[in-house]
Amino acid sequence: MAKTKNTHTRRLLCQALIASCALGAGGAWAQQTIKIANIVELSGGGATAGTNFKNGVELAVKEINASGGILGKKIESTTSDTQSNPGIAKGLTQKAIDDDVFAIFGPVFSGSIMVSMAESRRAEVPNFTGGEAAAITEQGNKYVFRTSFTQATAMPKLARYIDQKMKVKTLAVIYVNNDFGKGGLDSIKKALAATPVKVAAEISTEPGQIDFAAAVLRAKQSNADALFAYSNEEESARLLRELRKQGYAKPIVGETTLTGQKVIDLAGDAANGAIAHVGLTVDAPNPAIRAFRAKFEKEYKYVSDHNGMKGYSGVYLLKAAIEKTGKLDAKAVAQTLHGLKVSATQQPGVLMDVSIDGKGDLDRESFMVEVKNGKQEVIATVPALGAAAAK
Amino acid sequence: MTDFLQLLLSGLATGSIYALAALGFTLLWQASGTINFAQGEFVMLPAFAMLACMSFGAPLGIAFVLTVLLAVVVLGWGFKRGVVDPLLRFGMMPIVVATIGLSIAMRNGVRAGFSAEAHPFPNLFADKIFNVAGVTVTLADIGTFALAVAIVLATQAFLSRTVTGRAMQAVAQNTESAQVLGIDVPRMVFYTFAINATLAVAAALLVTPTYLAKFDMGEGLGTKAFFAAIIGGFNNSRGALVGGLIVGVAENLAAAYISPAYKDAVALLIFMLVILFKPQGLLGRKEERKV
């Protein structure tokens, strides 16, 4: 019954669309539904991340529509595949703007959003991304919004944890010598400068490196109290294996990647004991996240990763901003998003209390996880940077 | 000193794998005067074949045997009949170009079928660690090294001690005379290709737990093995072993004592020095090739 009704509504919508196009009244029609475009990686290297993000967005859209939409308007979402290619992402963003969308979700890859966000900026359309490169929000773009942390927001939290909870005095850093790794090294050094923790060794490794014997040896020689490992997935796995091989007995800390399921799968037993800071995890001991995990699993028959949470919470951020603005004006909504604070008790879909700053970066609680028996387990909750500073 | 030993041991394990792939280069060169630039992909493909077998529930041993059979047919017979035989009469260049093309096709084929992500691969050896005089050694390192050296030496012994092996060498040295003496030349050449394919599967078995099964894992491996073969001597099977070990150890030492950024340059540097001062390779002999 619901389905027939749904098809019926859709047919009506289609008719409305045709009619409005025929009359050249596209603008007037845009007020009837809130059109959003999902521009994500459904094939190529980013397929896993993109698919999760898209599923998260669609789940949120379905829920919001079922509970009456935003300001009484239903959301209508379309999805297109960037093939993990920045050029295609840019073209699709342009196309979505031509279709007069209200907001754009994706791409997830930093390299893609860096290119495509120029289009949404020009058209003054809010663009939510899963990208985590610091540079995305460094360019004064008033229309790009993150759904997750950056290196620059994650590292101060991690540094605080290393100092206060782990009581580490000296830290060896093994990083990968590319933009990601060097950015991470700079951020952690900057963050550690505010703490008494000293960096005992900076050990550079190459992207695609196979043999980490020399790197691990240098970490051991540095005699540091703990090791901070910051590399891509495969390299992290090989590094963990070499650390295990050489019997490295001190704590191994990382950021997100180090304890990702892919790294755990590749590193096997060697991943056990590794600790990392993660911005989002479905394992978090938080009722809203638990509920999300269950709904997502029911809908898609698998457990979401953090990208699913990014897409899902992103749509609810948009909802909160539109409701606060009180009208369907994309430019005004983008303005509202800057400086917006959303509490999870009022808007459970954002999953955690969150605040967005003037650049489009967000701040909220995050988690420390440890790999135990081949699974991530949350061992601590790290307060939001703003909250911790306020104390 | 213990640090040095640690690096040396680790380098020997890596080097012995380069040696296995390098041996394939020297064998094919000796038997048919061809250079196979898809050698790295010849290691990558069996890794995925074994993974595929295991995904159907076969244990590692059975997957290995099945893959050897498959490799002998596809990478041995198929490669010889499909690529080398039709092109050989036009000289070496077309084969070089064809194998480069083949390597690209194999890489992208695997990427399309198995995605661009790395896949874990079970280790042949148990996860055991020994501590000898401050140096930590794993069973995997020792096992890889021992097995690779044993395979190289066994191949060497097969070539010099058995009738078939000698016949293969005779074909390599002078095809016409070998034919006159009643040796089945095409069959001997096929044997070489079959042995090369088997070596590739063995290399895949040893290397994949560390490299991880990935579509581009053969790229670096093939280049290193080529350098190793040139350094050791392209026409000497034992040279492949020496070359492989030199490259593996030099890389590790360079990463620790110079910088990991120059790790890959070291093999290239030794390669250039050898080409300049001893073009036949460290263990190779000067040869006049028949025109």
Q: Cβ of A236 under 8 Å from any chain B Cβ?
A: no
- Among the listed ranges A31-40, A101-110, B113-122, which one has the minimum average pLDDT value? B113-122
Whether residue A391 is predicted with pLDDT greater than 80 in this model: the reply is: no
pLDDT tens track for A259-268: 988 889 889 8
What is the predicted pLDDT for the residue at A27? 44
pLDDT tens track for A20-29: 444 444 444 4
Q: Cβ of A122 under 8 Å from any chain B Cβ?
A: no
Q: Is residue B189 in a domain?
A: yes
Whether residue A390 is predicted with pLDDT greater than 80 in this model: the reply is: no
What is the predicted pLDDT for the residue at A162? 94
Q: Is residue B102 in a domain?
A: yes
Task: Tell me the average pLDDT across A155-165.
Answer: 92
Cβ A79 vs Cβ A40: under 8 Å: yes
Task: Tell me the average pLDDT across B129-138.
Answer: 79
What is the predicted pLDDT for the residue at A25? 42
- The strand pairing partners of A335, in sequence order, are none
What is the predicted pLDDT for the residue at A251? 96
Q: In which band, very low, low, confident or very high, does the pLDDT at B291 lie, cut at 50, 70 and 90?
A: very low
Whether residue B282 is predicted with pLDDT greater than 90 in this model: the reply is: no
Edge-to-edge strand ranges of the sheet holding A362-364? A341-342, A354-356, A362-364
Q: Is residue B59 in a domain?
A: yes
Torsional sign, CA A68, A71, A72, A77: negative
Query: How far apart, in whole angstroms, are the C-alpha atoms of residue B102 and residue B105?
Result: 5
pLDDT tens track for B204-255: 999 998 888 989 899 889 999 999 999 998 877 788 899 999 999 999 888 8
What is the predicted pLDDT for the residue at A258? 93
What is the predicted pLDDT for the residue at A21? 46
DSSP type of residue B131:
E
Please state which architecture CATH assigns to domain A152-278+366-382.
Answer: 3-Layer(aba) Sandwich (3.40)
Q: Is residue B271 in a domain?
A: no
Task: Tell me the average pLDDT across B189-214.
Answer: 91
Task: Tell me the average pLDDT across A366-380.
Answer: 93
Q: Cβ of A14 under 8 Å from any chain B Cβ?
A: no
Task: Tell me the average pLDDT across A41-57.
Answer: 88
- A326 exposure class (CB count in 10 Å sphere: 0-12, 13-18, 19+): exposed
Chain A residues in contact with B138 by the CB 8 A cut-off are 245
Q: Cβ of A372 under 8 Å from any chain B Cβ?
A: no
Whether residue A167 is predicted with pLDDT greater than 80 in this model: the reply is: yes
For chain B, the domain total comes to 1
Q: Which of A177, A213, A234 sits opposite B252 (nearest CB)?
A: A213
pLDDT tens track for A176-226: 988 788 888 999 999 999 999 999 999 998 888 888 988 998 899 899 999
Torsional sign, CA A41, A45, A47, A50: negative
pLDDT tens track for B73-111: 999 999 999 988 898 888 888 989 999 999 999 999 998
B252 contacts A211? CB cut-off 8 A: yes
The first and second tokens of residue A282, run together, are 């479905």
Element housing A362 (H / E): strand A362-364
Query: How far apart, in whole angstroms, are the C-alpha atoms of residue A77 and residue B74?
Result: 48
Best mutation target, A41, A42, A206, A211, to test chain B (most B CBs within 10 A): A211
Q: Is residue B214 in a domain?
A: yes
Q: Cβ of A264 under 8 Å from any chain B Cβ?
A: no
Mean pLDDT of chain A: 88
- The strand pairing partners of A81, in sequence order, are A40
Whether residue B129 is predicted with pLDDT greater than 50 in this model: the reply is: yes
Task: Tell me the average pLDDT across A292-302.
Answer: 94
Best mutation target, B17, B130, B212, to test chain A (most A CBs within 10 A): B212
B210 contacts A210? CB cut-off 8 A: yes
Q: Is residue B256 in a domain?
A: no
The residues of chain A that CATH labels 3.40.50.2300 are 31-149+287-360, 152-278+366-382
pLDDT tens track for B25-43: 888 888 777 889 999 999 9
DSSP type of residue A372:
E
Q: In which band, very low, low, confident or very high, does the pLDDT at B288 lie, cut at 50, 70 and 90?
A: low
Q: At a CB cut-off of 8 Å and minimum separation 6, what does A267 contact? A: A236, A237, A238, A240, A241
What is the predicted pLDDT for the residue at A16? 53
Query: How far apart, in whole angstroms, are the C-alpha atoms of residue B102 and residue B234?
Result: 22
Residues of B engaging A, defined by a Cβ cutoff of 8 Å:
3, 6-7, 10-11, 14, 115-120, 127, 129, 131, 136, 138, 140-141, 210-212, 214, 220, 251-252, 255-256, 259-261, 263-264
Range ranked top by mean pLDDT from A168-172, A260-264, B274-278:
A168-172
Query: How far apart, in whole angstroms, are the C-alpha atoms of residue B115 and residue A5?
Result: 40
What is the predicted pLDDT for the residue at B64? 95
Quick one: which of A219, A226, A211 has its CA closest to A171?
A226
What is the predicted pLDDT for the residue at A294? 95
Q: In which band, very low, low, confident or very high, does the pLDDT at A1 lie, cut at 50, 70 and 90?
A: very low
What is the predicted pLDDT for the residue at B287? 64
Q: How far is A237 from chain B (nearest CA, A)?
A: 9
Residue type (1 letter), A71? L
**Dihedrals φ, ψ of B187, to 5°?**
-65, -40
Nearest CA in chain B to A246: B136
Chain A residues in contact with B141 by the CB 8 A cut-off are 245
B211 contacts A245? CB cut-off 8 A: no
Cβ A159 vs Cβ A197: under 8 Å: yes
Whether residue A124 is predicted with pLDDT greater than 50 in this model: the reply is: yes
Give this complex's ipTM: 0.79
Total CB pairs under 8 A between chain A and B: 78
Q: Is residue B5 in a domain?
A: no
Q: In which band, very low, low, confident or very high, does the pLDDT at B289 lie, cut at 50, 70 and 90?
A: low
Q: In which band, very low, low, confident or very high, does the pLDDT at A10 lie, cut at 50, 70 and 90?
A: low
What is the predicted pLDDT for the residue at A132? 84
Q: Is residue B283 in a domain?
A: no
Q: How far is A142 from chain B (nearest CA, A)?
A: 35
Nearest CA in chain B to A234: B118
Q: Which of B3, B136, B212 sits opposite A245 (nearest CB)?
A: B136
Q: How much of chain A exceeds pLDDT 70, in percent?
A: 91
Task: Tell me the average pLDDT across A346-367.
Answer: 93
What is the predicted pLDDT for the residue at A22? 46
Mean pLDDT of chain B: 88
Q: Which of residues 273-332 of A touch B (CB under 8 A)?
A: none
Domain encompassing residue B81: 14-225
Fold of A31-149+287-360: Rossmann fold (3.40.50)
